[in-house]
Amino acid sequence: MARADFAAGSLFADLRAACRDDWRGYVEHDFVRKLGAGTLPEAAFRRYLGQDYLFLIHFARAYGLAVYKSETLDDMREAAAGLANILDVEVGLHVKYCSEWGLSEAEMARLPEARETMAYTRYVLERGLAGDLLDLWVALAPCVIGYGEIGHRMMRDPTARRDGNRYGAWIEAYGGADYQRVAAAAGAQLDRLFARRGGPARMALLIDTFREATRLETNFWQMGLDAA
């Protein structure tokens, strides 16, 4: 089954298994289901898009932090690639995409930051600053790898529609090969860091971080739905 296979045998899979209910609440959230089925109200999607723009800016900052926290040139290149992906690809894609939805970049930059956006982004950044590079990547994982899982599932889900789905571009962006590679690279980096800085003693705190970030992602979907 697609779901079970995604990232099997990785630290990510262990963290996900340890937070099964919270994880399901996130990747199977109504917002996600409706987006896949093409039934999500446009107001919900527009709210999400605008806040996601603000979110991406802080997420790029988190990758900058990961560059700073790196201990090897390889770590640094991994983080710099994630940063470039956001600044050069995701933000641009977002801006282009949003303009199709009638949201200009200038409008998005002026949006008040929702409490949900603030709670999530500052939690991740602060967790990464207080902890080490492994703590930071674990805090990023529900978003970076989770979006990969959601896209992967939607591409295979018989109840999801792409033809005639006004959100089809979103599904293809995250389910497509390029983003799947980004998610896989993030998972591999997580495993490398765990080999160098992890161990059984750290799992309890890492699970706390992963669960907290997962719940904050869930709140982010809910913020979208609440606008509809």
**Which chain residues interact with a second copy by CB under 8 A?**
57, 60-71, 73, 76-77, 79-80, 83-84, 87, 91, 109, 115-116, 118-119, 122-123, 125-126, 129-133, 135, 194-202, 205, 216, 219
Minimum gap (Å) between residue 28 Cβ and a second copy: 21
Q: How many CB atoms lie within 10 A of CB 164?
A: 7
Minimum gap (Å) between residue 40 Cβ and a second copy: 23
Nearer to a second copy, 85 or 165 (CB): 85
Q: DSSP letters of 56-101?
A: HHHHHHHHHHHHHH-SSHHHHHHHHHHHHIIIIIIHHHHHHHHHHT
Q: How far apart are CA 140 and CA 138, in angstroms?
A: 5
Minimum gap (Å) between residue 135 Cβ and a second copy: 7
Q: How many CB atoms lie within 10 A of CB 45?
A: 22
Nearer to a second copy, 62 or 160 (CB): 62
Nearer to a second copy, 70 or 180 (CB): 70
Minimum gap (Å) between residue 150 Cβ and a second copy: 22
The H or E element containing residue 204 is helix 203-226
